Amino acid sequence: MSKLFNLDRAMILTALTVLGMLLATLALWPLQGNVAAFFSVTGLSLVYLSGGLPAAWRAAVTLWEERVLDIDLLMVVAAVAAAAVGAPFEGAVLLTLFSISTTLEERALGRARRAIQALMELRPETALRRGSDGTVSEVPAADLEVDDVVVLRPGARVPADGVIVGGRGSLDEANITGESMPVSKEPGAQVFEATVNLDGVLEVTVTRTVEESTVARMIALVTEAQAAKAPSERFSAWFGQRYTVAVMAGAILAFAAFYWLGRNWEEALYRSATLLVAASPCAIVISVPAAILSALSAAARGGVLFKGGAALETLAAVDIFAFDKTGTLTTGKASVTGVVALDGDERLLLSSLAGLEAYSEHHSAAAIRQEAANRGIDPVRVMNVITRPSAGIVGDDGEGQLWAGNPRLAVQMGASIDHPMLKALAADTQTVIYMGRGSRVMGAVTIADQARKTSAPALAALREGGVSEIVMMTGDRRPVALRIGQELGLKPDEIHADMLPEDKVRMVGDRAARGKVAFVGDGVNDAAALARADVGIAMGAAGSDVALQAADVALLSEDMERLADAHQLARRTARVIRQNLVFAMGAMAILVTGGLFFQLPLPLAVIGHEGGTVLVVLNGLRLLRDPIRGGGTKPAPKTPAHTNSTRRIAREAYSRKVPRRAGL
């Protein structure tokens, strides 16, 4: 409410300022005599009171509390100087245009900050909760707790993050992941708050409360990202503050110089006030945040979260991309394609292997557990499980040490994999997981993973976008890596297999010496490589705390083309910033030259200054319509009465004022 009041107050003051300017203009024409004098005094007084006093108060508070010389102070000084030399009308023009441009700028930047708020307002207020006795009752979404079961009717919005335990259907996840097409869901699939159930009746077990949901974390991350300043923002603020002090000092020197050259004090003061306006760096300093805020908001609506403007700027400069394979370029949803038990007992092998892999989060472990479940095989109980990075997993079933992993782990355990049946598997292009007890190999399973359908187009788009080098890094065997790499259009020298985590870190570091490097992974594994890269990018991060925290950029969906979109958005943002800076500096140079050598009128300097500021803000706002948010802008299905938006929560999350142009 306070934000709306402040916004309304600004609009009212601007309207009064414009009204005063109209009255003062009528006094010049067509009114005459005493009526004209009355309109002139009334109009000019209204302009100076409604347009000048608030600006002077803001400037004084800023100067006193933050020791920052604000642009408001420069404008007020220039207006007072104009009035002091008998040109109050010109000062009124300055205050009127300044009031209009400031209000437009705040509304425009507020639009950039509120672009993500539309998503927050889709959060349902109520949910249908099933009780222990089977009855269904409507409760506030905020009252849901972990392990509660909610019922989703067709058209209803998901009230909290959860897992489907009953029913099948399609969900519209565009508002969260940016995915443009509905996603089919079945029991065991994860669902996110604020997404829409398009068809079917679903039963969902809540896994996160409203305060801890994906949407809540998006609010926090986007808010932090918009508050954090990019390097160019920090520099422009640093430069702007110091330059503003120089402008004030220069205006004083200009007054002295004009007076020394023989101008009377009124003309010297008028000319120095004109220079004060012409040289003000407002448009220069606002050029960067206008573009950064718009890009961050557009990206968030498209399912891409940047950890602030620094990540956005760095991604624009990236020309080398390194990719993890499993779960990033591939679906990560592997399946068991073959089982080889050297003693002929496949059920015993799968039972032991599933018991061991029950403690692993690796994609291949899920495939093995699923294969055992499909065959109705119960896993054995395994204890003292230890994961060996890039090798496998080791545990104890009470009869001895069990292990499962790649050839590297077999060597560590002193086991031989030279058996003819195992050699035949190694010659294949599928992933092989060996299983053994102590130094004896019991058998192996083969697992196949498929490349994502969007991976090849995404890599092609990155190359077309100017990326000079793309490499794939994996701990898998080279035949497997080559098969996937060829499907994605990668050359053999761009495919690196049999890599340990430290190998990936070293390779990323080597490439970082040649240029900016982005490493793309699933956010769970390869944390060291994500940290070593100039930009760490997590794939499919929706619902993953680790992914959201580990990376500089989080792609909420598993659509690889979002990565190419994010890279293009970053580069477009860099171009817009350059355009703004060139335009702002060029306009300022022209205005200053006119003020020094061509007797530029004060109103014209005001129009050039304020008009330039508004133009650079509007140019930055173009990024709000970036194609990256194509999936997040389609109309949402009509929401039933029992799923109204939680507007109160959304407004609380965004109850921050649009910051004034600090440092100007």
List, in sequence order, every residue forming a beta bridge with 443; answer none if it has no partner.
341, 435
Q: In Å, what is the CA distance from 270 to each residue of 86, 274, 478?
A: 9, 6, 76
Cα atoms in the 13 Å half-sphere on the side-chain side of 188:
2
Question: Are 318 and 512 contacting, i.e. CB atoms less than 8 angstroms apart?
Answer: no
DSSP string, 234-246: HHHHHHHHHHHHH
**Spatial distance between the Cα atoms of 69 and 63, rounded to a whole number of angstroms:** 6
The residues near 149 (Cβ < 8 Å, ≥ 6 apart) are: 129, 130, 165, 203, 204, 205, 206
Question: Are 467 and 319 contacting, i.e. CB atoms less than 8 angstroms apart?
Answer: yes
**Spatial distance between the Cα atoms of 171 and 193, rounded to a whole number of angstroms:** 11
324 is catalytic: yes
Alpha carbon 580 to chain centroid distance?
A: 22
The residue among 523, 499, 481 whose CA lies nearest residue 508 is 499
**Spatial distance between the Cα atoms of 478 and 455, rounded to a whole number of angstroms:** 19
List, in sequence order, every residue forming a beta bridge with 441; answer none if it has no partner.
436
Question: Are 16 and 50 contacting, i.e. CB atoms less than 8 angstroms apart?
Answer: yes
DSSP string, 322-342: EEEIIIIIB----EEEEEEET
Alpha carbon 494 to chain centroid distance?
A: 29
Annotated catalytic residue: which of 324, 476, 522, 559?
Answer: 324
Tokens of 640: 């039933």
**Spatial distance between the Cα atoms of 159 and 144, rounded to a whole number of angstroms:** 9
**Spatial distance between the Cα atoms of 283 and 260, rounded to a whole number of angstroms:** 32
Tokens of 187: 């029991």
The residues near 181 (Cβ < 8 Å, ≥ 6 apart) are: none
**Spatial distance between the Cα atoms of 595 and 592, rounded to a whole number of angstroms:** 5
**Which positions are catalytic?**
324
